[in-house]
Structure 1
């Protein structure tokens, strides 16, 4: 079996057996087995799921990270190796990421004696619920690490394309819940109540003015209401309506201003309608800030490797890799996967042709990063 086919086979086995965040027990066992079978040493960190391994000797340590969890999505891709687990799917390509870093591990192991230090391999659980990076850091996975690198496949880019950027890359991801309390009434006698649905509708429209009227047009921001829930029958005005949504930003000052404006708008409308609106704000993953020098280094290695390189646009999605970059420098990159359907879609189907080249790239990247003073 060729090297590339081995990686594809591993990817397909992971794809057929996806597990949700924090539940990656069988995935962990598979990765441990494949690494141990290659003679790669596993580090004895205390982890419920996930694997940390290491190759090489010496004081300097470069880390490569892959994420291993899947999503609660019923697969409709139609591929022959579709998920065997009902309602769970690798719809974000973490199976691809894992096979890439497994491939890099095999290549690095083959030239272990020539490495100018150690390469630490982080197979991280629970990226999708943004808890996995903190768990690995708490366990000690970043100890003595000089720099860390990771990837995400990019379905909007052709295979053979590479993109990254220095500074802000992925967004702050925050969640809000707004609970509107009015007064219920018969739908034929709305004047006897205080219509929570009308107030909630006004609230949705008003929130859209934050991005268009309260934030500098040169700053990136998205405010999206994604769920409205209220009422249970056709002829009663409900007393309660709940809205939920997300805010995406790349700047901490903008993030704080949006949070403040949501509370102000809610308070203003509640006063105008003589109702009450409770606001809850949940901070999610922070902005992913690539180190400028390591991002440029990763780009140069990609150019030399043969990728078609480009500076990435800002992403409005979130990425748990940002937590590592709070602690040590490094760079996160995008590699084209040319899927007709995007990330988190039930028919997502990345082109497996990216896997072997990406594995070779990351092995080269780690090897060359060890040589940087």
Structure 2
């Protein structure tokens, strides 16, 4: 496509960036996508989704899905860009870039519709940041008759023009935990008359830090981080209750289960030691983003036509694209979006995506769709 096309797409991204909406609140984004597709004579399908859009180009089988997430984060933007958000939310993870690239791909695929050996399903997914959107799309029937799905995340540590790919795990499985501890309140001068919730929580946290360092093989990897503690309200009272929360990240299902099992053992053992009562709550978070071992090499080689393709290391970030991969084969990539030294990472309030990254992102969608349609048509 021409420079004029990508200049237009850059303006589209700037508009989307300036009007972010957080997870499950993407109402204006949904209207914008539907209007954009309608102008391309692409009709959205009637799926029961409150936000987000699913549409199709082409006809017949096979069906290949292309997915982009559209939600933003509750972060106040500090980029000083001309098109910076001022509504208290921010596309601090680049979902404006993802959404724009799929809109651009839709335009190209519509122009080349006669060349399609099947159907391309466009999934503009809501609510990735709270890990619910992928499950909502699946529940609504968005994967019906789909042979495979393609997705990506921008990567500010890769340069525009680069794509990072690997077979197997490319993003971590995520566990979100909250542990509620109930002790017995007492005067700080008479701790023997209570059950010290502060001591229980701090002892549990200290013991949890030994799980990864002493029970996970050095040839495997996992992360266990406690990120929030809430206990007590004043200096001279032992609080009756409190809680802490955080996350576990891993790349192997067996490691994941082992760490979870040991986590629960530590929490229960310490609580019994001090006669406290505990409750462990696990959030609804995604499994490992695991690239199909048969399809990834196809996408890897095919992407060399328009990008510098590198075999990337996996990221400890999580992605609800994994929800789709639990149902059907999928390939997820990293698309270079900045590449400057010390470029701000995802979820920073000064996170910036460079517009010159758009051509590779658009072509990744378009060319992957053609490659997989042809692949499945031959089977």
TM-score by length of 2: 0.93
Structure-2 residue corresponding to 1:252:
253
In 1, distance between residues paired with 2:365 and 2:194? 63
Structure-1 residue corresponding to 2:313:
313
Q: Deviations over 1:187-234 (max 9, x none)?
A: 344444433212222211110111011222222211111110111112
Structure-1 residue corresponding to 2:323:
323
Structure-2 residue corresponding to 1:15:
17
Structure-1 residue corresponding to 2:30:
28
In 1, distance between residues paired with 2:192 and 2:309? 62
Structure-2 residue corresponding to 1:76:
78
Structure-2 residue corresponding to 1:49:
51
TM superposition shift of 1:271: 2.8
Structure-2 residue corresponding to 1:179:
180
Q: Deviations over 1:128-179 (max 9, x none)?
A: 1222122222222222222110010011212211111111222221122222
In 1, distance between residues paired with 2:45 and 2:200? 56
TM superposition shift of 1:283: 4.3
Structure-1 residue corresponding to 2:144:
143
1:154 partnered with 2:173 = no
CA contact (8 A) 1:107 1:360 kept: no
Higher mean C-alpha deviation, range 274-283 or range 262-271? 274-283
TM superposition shift of 1:96: 0.2
Structure-2 residue corresponding to 1:197:
198
Choose the corresponding residue for 1:357, options 352, 357, 360.
Answer: 360
Structure 2 residue runs of 5 or longer lacking an equivalent are none
In 2, distance between residues paired with 1:59 and 1:181? 56
Higher mean C-alpha deviation, range 325-334 or range 138-147? 138-147
Structure-1 residue corresponding to 2:211:
210
Structure-1 residue corresponding to 2:87:
85
Structure-2 residue corresponding to 1:119:
120
In 2, distance between residues paired with 1:361 and 1:153? 12
In 2, distance between residues paired with 1:15 and 1:47? 23
Aligned length: 371
CA contact (8 A) 1:173 1:283 kept: no
In 2, distance between residues paired with 1:195 and 1:141? 50
In 2, distance between residues paired with 1:278 and 1:326? 29
Structure-1 residue corresponding to 2:101:
100
Higher mean C-alpha deviation, range 193-202 or range 63-72? 193-202
Q: Secondary structure at the match of 1:331?
A: strand
Q: Deviations over 1:227-255 (max 9, x none)?
A: 10111112222222211111112222222
1:231 partnered with 2:235 = no
Q: Deviations over 1:71-103 (max 9, x none)?
A: 1111111111111322x1111111000111111
Structure 1 pair 61–279 and aligned structure 2 pair: CA distance change class (3 A): closer
In 2, distance between residues paired with 1:8 and 1:286? 33
